[in-house]
Amino acid sequence: MIRSSLLIFSLADAILIRYKGVVSVEPTRPTDIPEAQFVLASASPRRRDLLAFLGPRYEVIASDAEERDDPVPSAVLTALPPFGLPRATHPSLLAWRKASHVAELAPGAVVLGADTIVVLGDVVLNKPRDPAHALQMLASLSGRVHTVYTGLCVIRKDEGGKMKDEAANDVLSVHPSSFILHPYQIWLDLVSSEVEIAPLSAGEIAAYVATGEPLDKAGAYGIQGLGGQLVRSVRGSYTAVVGLPLTNTHRLLRAAGVDNLRDPEQSYRRWLAQQGKEPLPWPPTLP
């Protein structure tokens, strides 16, 4: 469990919160974190929690860049993993927007961006506008299978255009979405998982919405919280549904030279135990 009570103080225009093993900075300027080595470009507490179980010390710089519509370099568009919905909703593109924005704020750091969307058929289910919208979303998901996509982007400063270690070469053999966009090396990935929601009565849906949990969650449910009780099965990566697929994240971070990473499967099991979800109520899923 990450604890945030150790130290809170003001630094220039930023508020710096030191966690146990984690440093969070938001918002910030490049001069605020010249020592940054590894940065998570996400304010999601769920991603922070999962990443902490992988072991590296990191800092957090939240970014709203996914809401912007700046031009995208052709190299990025070419490298995007296959995705059947409009490009503007591509989770890997949104992850790149976050990571590239933060990379400018933290020069020299390895930056990880992630974005998760929930898709039912060909409709993207974002965060509900209000409780009534959450009721509608959950009613549409009831008794059906939907897909959760999480896109990843890792960015590091290009050092002569050469991958430095064997881990990077391993990633290149599996992930063609690894490329140079001066002055950066960039890795992109996309993970999809199928989630089946149990048939829900109107009363069950209303009771869940009344907890308030669905209101800040894509698809109007949080699998790691009370919403997990609505889920009948997961096929694919469980942590991708939460927001950060541990196996894929581990692979890309190793390629980018991030050290002191724990085994993703063991990290997954420890995280499940902390969440009170071990053993799983359905067949074991991927980390």
Three-state SS string over 173-205 comes to: HHCCCEEEECCEEEEEEEEEEEEEECCCCHHHH
Sign of CA dihedral 68, 64, 84, 232: negative
Q: Domain count of the chain?
A: 1
| Domain annotation covers residue 229 | no
First to last CA, the chain: 18
| Domain annotation covers residue 134 | no
Across 97-108, average pLDDT: 92
| Domain annotation covers residue 286 | no
pLDDT at position 156 is 94
CA distances, 120 to each of 82, 133, 227, 230 (Å): 18, 15, 17, 16
The residue with greater pLDDT, 280 or 153, is 153
Give the residue numbers spanning the domain of 95: 7-116+150-192+243-275
Mean pLDDT check: name the lowest of 56-70, 79-93, 167-181: 167-181
115 is catalytic: yes
* Best mean pLDDT range from 10-14, 19-23, 90-94, 182-186: 90-94
| Domain annotation covers residue 226 | no
Q: Which of 32, 49, 115, 189 is catalytic?
A: 115
pLDDT at position 259 is 85
Q: What 3-state DSSP class applies to 14? A: strand
pLDDT at position 3 is 32
Say how far apart CA 72 and CA 80 lie, in whole Å: 11
pLDDT at position 14 is 28
Cβ-Cβ contacts under 8 Å for 50 (sequence gap 6 or more): 239, 242, 243, 244, 246, 267, 271
| Domain annotation covers residue 127 | no
| Domain annotation covers residue 88 | yes
CA distances, 88 to each of 70, 179, 188 (Å): 11, 21, 16
The percent of residues in the chain predicted with pLDDT above 90, rounded, is 66
Tokens 């697929």: give the residue. 245
Whether residue 193 contacts residue 204, with contact meaning beta carbons closer than 8 Å, is answered with no
* Best mean pLDDT range from 14-28, 148-162, 195-209, 253-267: 195-209
| Domain annotation covers residue 215 | no
Across 232-251, average pLDDT: 95
Across 218-247, average pLDDT: 94
Number of H helices, E strands in the chain: 9, 11
Element (H, E) at 131: helix 131-141
pLDDT at position 66 is 67
Residue 24 pLDDT level (bands cut at 50, 70, 90)? very low
Looking at the predicted structure, is the pLDDT value of residue 122 above 80? yes
Say how far apart CA 97 and CA 74 lie, in whole Å: 14
Say how far apart CA 149 and CA 130 lie, in whole Å: 23
Cβ-Cβ contacts under 8 Å for 35 (sequence gap 6 or more): none
| Domain annotation covers residue 18 | yes
pLDDT at position 6 is 24
Average pLDDT taken over every residue of the chain:
82
Looking at the predicted structure, is the pLDDT value of residue 73 above 90? yes
Whether residue 218 contacts residue 146, with contact meaning beta carbons closer than 8 Å, is answered with no
